[in-house]
Amino acid sequence: MRFERSAPATLAEWEAVWAKTSLPAGMWLDGEWNAALDGSVATLVTPRDGSDLTVVPAGRAEDVDRAVAGARRAFEAGTWSRLPPRERGDVLLRWADLMEEHREELALLIALEMGKPAATAWAVEVRTSIGLVRWYGELADKLMDESPRGRPDSVAIVSREPLGVVAAITPWNFPMTLSCFKVPAALVAGNSVVLKPASQTPLSMLRVAELGSRAGLPDGVFQVVTGSGPVIGDALARHRGVDTLSFTGSPAVGARLLRAAGESNLKPVALELGGKSPNLIFEDVDDLDAAMDTAAWAIAFNSGQMCTAGSRLLVHASLHDEVVAGVTERLAAVRAGDPLDPSTEFGPLATRRHREDVAAEIRRGRESGARLVLGSEEIPGGPGFHLPPAVFTGVSPGDRLAQHEIFGPVLSVLSFHDEDEAIVIANHSDYGLGASVWTGSLRRAHQVSRRIVAGTVWVNCFEEGDASVPFGGRKLSGHGADKSVHGLDKFTALKTTWMAL
Ligand code: NAP
């Protein structure tokens, strides 16, 4: 069953979706809504206009105990973990259909909780998330164990088994997609999952969890526990009933989680962390307009709140001035506005505090001597946590502007004179998440992508991919992979069974 339709086309249509939407108000535990055990709540503020949106439970360690105990019970019961894989896959396919049916509502929740334009959430984030659930649903019965040909007097079977209870901790910038990088993969392998979404953005995944139960996930198999990172996240990382932890967020929190796992049950911790992705435009680029369009998009999309944001633009010296002018012109023209208005291309930043942090980085950059050719650290008036894009030139590779992940719409332009210098600058970073190379030369495309230390290199494009390819980082950007068949590795254990004949 597929539902082909188009997104709401006007602000009034999105407001009508909102009028019909009830905001999730509990944690999703054991197939039903739950308050925190001590009744505490936290208020969510929408970046759309800074108003209070709703309250959700502010869980504590005892809520984590309850969520993990329910997930463990469900795992041991075998109603999911020992189901034939095809049947697990069918539940995921039904879940994807239900998400499609609720696509407007899910996009609206994302727009309200984190400020992404609802039209973008509909066309990109929710679509991608549905695609991931469907992809893993289809994969369910297509995985094979191994039987290596060892000795003639024996049979060896190498099988993949679910680990048990998986914890997932996710950030606010793509609250649904980044959760769906993990949850369907962990579930299709037979695990139970406890998700802790970012405090700012629990609503969309709470609704997705409720839809999962409607699709047929047994109670307790997918739990969503809300509350603050230092409380809930830390309790999950230390919990002896959690078998593995998959995290997406900042390197600082990733380091804490590794310590917490080391101080508890040594659970494996998979880390998807930050980035400072270089976007390299060579003098032999085929389509400079496309490169400039994409360079502007790579820092403006999601208001720059992207782990893969193309925040370092490396341009061959012969093209520097033309590219700075072209990209600046494009960024100056992005339409900022109300996230519910379909004509809005550029939404507010996710929180008031985050906007202040990004503005402080612009001020620091200006004071460092780099040239601010677009934007300002001045906070604009009006509703919403808006901050227009900023572009700096005259940035050196070691400058804070080229090293620090700002996680906002701030572009640093650097120039290079030859391929070797470009690669040295590109790799001069603690991060290694994404990179992009613009060239008309096949030799250069291959050679440069091989030499760049990054989990993904895009050639003559940016941020492309689908569920079939892994996504992960190197260095401070983390390790391991989400998505694709490789995304299952961290949620399964290899078992060898050796049989004497
Ligand atoms: P963050 O502060 O690390 O938070 C991420 C998650 O960790 C949130 O759920 C947060 O909960 C939780 N958390 C915070 N402090 C914690 C603690 N002491 N113990 C356990 N959990 C804790 O990151 P963010 O500001 O939300 O997101 C921005 C970062 O994520 C950037 O570095 C960005 O590059 C990275 N990111 C990486 C990827 C990727 O795939 N590689 C994708 C997107 C974002 P609260 O919300 O309650 O604080």
pLDDT in tens, the chain (501 residues): 454 578 999 999 999 999 999 999 899 999 999 999 999 999 999 999 999 999 999 999 999 999 999 999 999 999 999 999 999 999 999 999 999 999 999 999 999 999 999 999 999 999 999 999 999 999 999 999 999 988 999 999 999 999 999 999 999 999 999 999 999 999 999 999 999 999 999 999 999 999 999 999 999 999 999 999 999 999 999 999 999 999 999 999 999 999 999 999 999 999 999 999 999 999 999 999 999 999 999 999 999 999 999 999 999 999 999 999 999 999 999 999 999 999 999 999 999 999 999 999 999 999 999 999 999 999 999 899 999 999 999 999 999 999 999 999 999 999 999 999 999 999 999 999 999 999 999 999 999 999 999 999 999 999 999 999 999 999 999 999 999 999 999 999 999 999 999
The finding on whether 276 has its CB within 6 A of some atom of ligand 1 is no
234 in contact with ligand 1, CB cutoff 6 A = yes
Tell me the β-bridge partners of 434.
456
Centre of ligand 1 from the C-alpha of residue 39, in Å? 25
Atom of ligand 1 nearest to the CA of 197: 9
Cβ partners under 8 Å of residue 442, min gap 6: none
Q: List all residues 6 or more positions away from 35 whose beta carbon is below 8 Å from its beta carbon.
A: 26, 27, 41, 57
Structural tokens at position 391: 């572009």
Interacting residues of 291 by C-beta distance below 8 A, sequence separation 6+:
281, 285, 323, 438, 460
At 419, give phi and psi (nearest 5°): -60, -45
How far apart are alpha carbons 469 and 487 in whole angstroms? 9
What Rg do the C-alpha atoms of the chain give, in angstroms? 23
4 is written with which tokens? 């082909």
Q: Which residues pair with 278 in a beta bridge?
A: 312
Half-sphere exposure of 224 (CA within 13 A, CB side): 32
The number of the ligand 1 atom at minimal distance from the alpha carbon of 275 is 34
Whose C-alpha lies nearest to ligand 1, atom 10? 229
Q: Give the whole-angstrom CA distance, residue 448 versus residue 444.
A: 6
Q: Tell me the three state secondary structure of residue 62.
A: helix
Contact 42, 26 (CB under 8 A): no
- Cα–ligand 1 centroid distance for 488 (angstroms): 22
Strand blocks (E) in 317-396: 371-374, 390-393
Q: Using CA atoms, how far apart are residues 201 and 205, in angstroms rounded to an integer?
A: 8
Q: How many helices (H) and strands (E) does the chain have?
A: 17, 20
Out of 60, 195, 256, 307, mutate this one to test ligand 1's pocket (max ligand atoms within 8 Å of CB): namely 307
Marked catalytic residue, from 100, 125, 210, 272: 272
How far is the centre of ligand 1, averaged over its atoms, from the C-alpha of 169 (Å)? 8
- State how far the Cα of 290 lies from the Cα of 224, in Å rounded to an integer: 41
> Does the beta carbon of 473 lie inside 6 Å of ligand 1?
yes
Contacts of 339 (CB under 8 A, 6+ apart): 47, 48, 111, 112, 115, 116, 117, 118, 347, 348, 384
Give yes or no for a contact between 352 and 385, defined as CB atoms under 8 angstroms apart. yes
Domains in the chain, start-ordered, CATH in brackets? Answer: 11-273+477-498 (3.40.605.10), 278-467 (3.40.309.10)
- State the Cα angle at 350 between 458 and 186, rounded to 5°: 60
Tell me if residue 125 is catalytic.
no
Orientation angle between helical segments 85-101 and 103-114, nearest 10 degrees = 70
The CB of 172 under 6 Å from ligand 1? The reply is yes
What three-state secondary structure class fits 494? strand
307 within ligand 1 shell (Cβ under 6 A): yes
**What is the model's pTM?**
0.97
Say how many Å lie between the CA of residue 170 and the centre of ligand 1: 6
